[in-house]
Amino acid sequence: MAGKRITIGMIEEFFVDELDGERVFRSLERADFVFLRCIKKLSEESEDGRVYLKELGTAMGVTMPELSRMINSIQDKGYVLWKTSEDKTRTYVQLTSRANRKIEKEQEDMREVFNKIKRVIPHDELEITLATVRKISEVIREKD
């Protein structure tokens, strides 16, 4: 594990999944970042860049009514466009340029904080800490 390159995905995981990152998030609320990050990931994996509500609900683990409320909230903030397919059978969302700028800003802020942590905590200690926190998270997420 020594010398392993730390990616933005690892940094995001560290702040979003492993720690209480409320003090890190400056441009977006934590919940909005998690939601927008999911939309961005699904969009990048999609052939047409569209994120259909059914797939988004499944990925987020929420019901359609919950998803609709969540989308309305981030739409009101100018982060997504809610659209209907050409044949009017499916609805999807797309991130706005505002959302993409906010995501990039959060990632930049996370890198700054993570670099500060790396300056204080030696690399080998940080790797052990991250591995331990991941194991703890896995245990907590396991279903009995």
> What are the pLDDT digits (tens) for 42-82?
999 999 889 999 999 999 999 999 999 999 999 999 999 99
**Does some domain include residue 128?**
no
Cβ-contact 36, 95 below 8 angstroms: yes
pTM of the model: 0.73
34 Cβ contact list (under 8 Å, min separation 6): 16
Compare 96 and 111 and report the one with higher pLDDT. Answer: 96
Structural domain for 33, as ranges = 8-119
Does pLDDT of 95 surpass 90?
yes
Number of domains, the chain: 1
Please report, for the domain that includes residue 37, its CATH number. Answer: 1.10.10.10
Tell me: pLDDT of 140 over 50: yes
Q: Is residue 136 part of a domain?
A: no
In a domain, 27, yes or no: yes
126 located within any domain: no
77 CB-near residues (< 8 Å, 6+ apart)? 32
